[in-house]
Amino acid sequence: MVDAPVVPSKRGSCPFDPPDEYARLREEEPISPITFKIAPGDPNGWLVTRHDYCRQILADNRFSHRHELCAQLLAPPFPIEKYEPEPSAPGSFVRTDKPEHTKYRTLLTGHFTVRRIREYEPMLGELIEGVLDELETKERPLDLVKEFAEVIPARSVCSMMGVPAEMVDELSGLFTKVFAFEYKSPEEFVHLMEELNRVLLELVELRKREPSDDVFSSLLATGELTDEEIANMAWIVVGGALDTTPNMMGLSTFALLQHPEQLEKFRNDPAVLDSSVEELLRYLTVSQFGASRAALEDVEIGGVTIKKGQTVVLSLPAANRDPEFFDNADDLDVTRSARRHVSFGFGIHQCLGQHLARATLRIGLTKLFQRFPTLRLAGAPEDVPLRETAMHYGADSLMVTWDD
């Protein structure tokens, strides 16, 4: 298991609530000091828990997302003597600022617009129906995380990228190991990253030989990018989908099963489908350790001076439960208008795949509960294993059954 993070991680009795400490900090010290275990410079930083402060910093160009400037939110499960992070590799645009970030993201944005995802929804629906057909043939109880929540995003995003069906399991398996954050040595981590890069570069070569109507082929057709840049861009797109959407799908199912009155509204009122997705994103906030930014100059917020070089952690779970912004913030209410949540971040780094994630959750959960109206947990809710130390929160497994 990983060392204790620099932000609260121990949950209370409710598996869907953030750590209790957030509520106290948000009320008493919304910008509170923390000390990082692994930092490129000043190990002293700040934890931000208020919604308005988080949005303000996420949209402020005086704060950087560059990899070489930000402290690590989680310490690796093996010792590191010295932490000297290098700038992100070409194409790995998430941990960069303008103009690098803009250059690469612009080449991908057109594939993930609201219009493009709406055009993709019929295909996504057929994919989900196919996975549900497979579920009906399996012995029960079964693990809904492994058999449903992880399968749909893997097949979906790999289809969009141009990953052949026979390579999906290998690619998703490697990403699962990377995001598990349980490496026994630096060498194991390096080996996993090398294997991932090998597979992604193989896919680039495949699409050079056999171009198709997919993201890989589109990036190659620009003639502006190296193979390394395309592979790293694919790492961001595929990796992002394979660690967030499965956790949201599994945890959302768990939450709805534990809130039958909300599940009833979700099932029976088509008018609340979109608001249900937004509310689940807000209420659950799987990015449990938040987002980090490094101050490029001294910045004063809320009477606190954040010094140049210090890392700020923006607690997205705390922000999404801010009672100053959301009435009865600790309640799940699928009729709520929760559009201004920060589960996808905010500003120029807001999640590229957010519209695909929304569609996957909306269609996936709708079809799941339509197909299996008696779906229920196969064990006690307190026995569901949870990912308290992983970068993204969720259920490690969710054993379920249903009546024929």
In sequence order, what are the beta bridge partners of 314? 48, 291
Long-range contact set of residues 120-124: C-beta below 8 Å, sequence gap at least 24 = 120/160, 120/356, 120/359, 121/359, 121/363, 123/159, 124/156, 124/359, 124/360, 124/363
Domain boundaries, the chain: 21-401
Calpha distance 34→19 (Å, rounded): 16
Calpha distance 393→396 (Å, rounded): 9
- pLDDT for 5 equals 65
Structure tokens at 384: 């569901």
CB atoms within 10 A of CB 379: 12
Calpha distance 292→374 (Å, rounded): 41
Report CA-CA distances (Å) from 118 to 98, 108, 122, 291.
29, 16, 8, 29
Burial 79-103 (b: 16+ CB within 10 A, else e): eeeebebeebbbbbbbbbbeebbeb
Structure tokens at 53: 């402060």
Question: What architecture (CATH level 2) is domain 21-401?
Answer: Orthogonal Bundle (1.10)
Calpha distance 30→27 (Å, rounded): 6
The amino acid at 119: E
Report CA-CA distances (Å) from 189 to 4, 226, 232, 299, 369.
19, 25, 17, 36, 38
Q: What is the DSSP letter of 83?
A: -
Calpha distance 295→404 (Å, rounded): 57
In this prediction the pTM is 0.95
Sheet with 311-314: list strands edge to edge: 31-35, 44-48, 311-314, 291-295, 63-64
Per-residue pLDDT of the chain (404 residues; tens, 9 = 90+): 234 567 888 898 999 999 999 999 999 999 999 999 889 989 999 999 999 999 999 999 999 999 999 998 887 777 777 888 899 999 999 999 999 999 999 999 999 999 999 999 999 999 999 999 999 999 999 999 999 999 999 999 999 999 999 999 899 889 888 887 778 888 888 899 999 999 999 999 999 999 999 999 999 999 999 999 999 999 999 998 988 999 999 999 999 999 999 999 999 999 999 999 999 999 999 999 999 999 999 999 999 999 999 999 999 999 999 999 999 999 999 999 998 999 999 999 999 999 999 999 999 999 999 999 999 999 999 999 999 888 899 999 999 999 98
- pLDDT for 74 equals 80
105: nearest Cα among 204, 236, 221, 231: 236
Residue 22 CB contacts under 8 Å (≥ 6 apart), including other chains:
8, 49, 315, 317, 318, 321
Report CA-CA distances (Å) from 57 to 64, 216, 314, 354.
10, 33, 8, 20
Burial 216-240 (b: 16+ CB within 10 A, else e): bbbbbeeeebeebbbbbbbbbbbbb
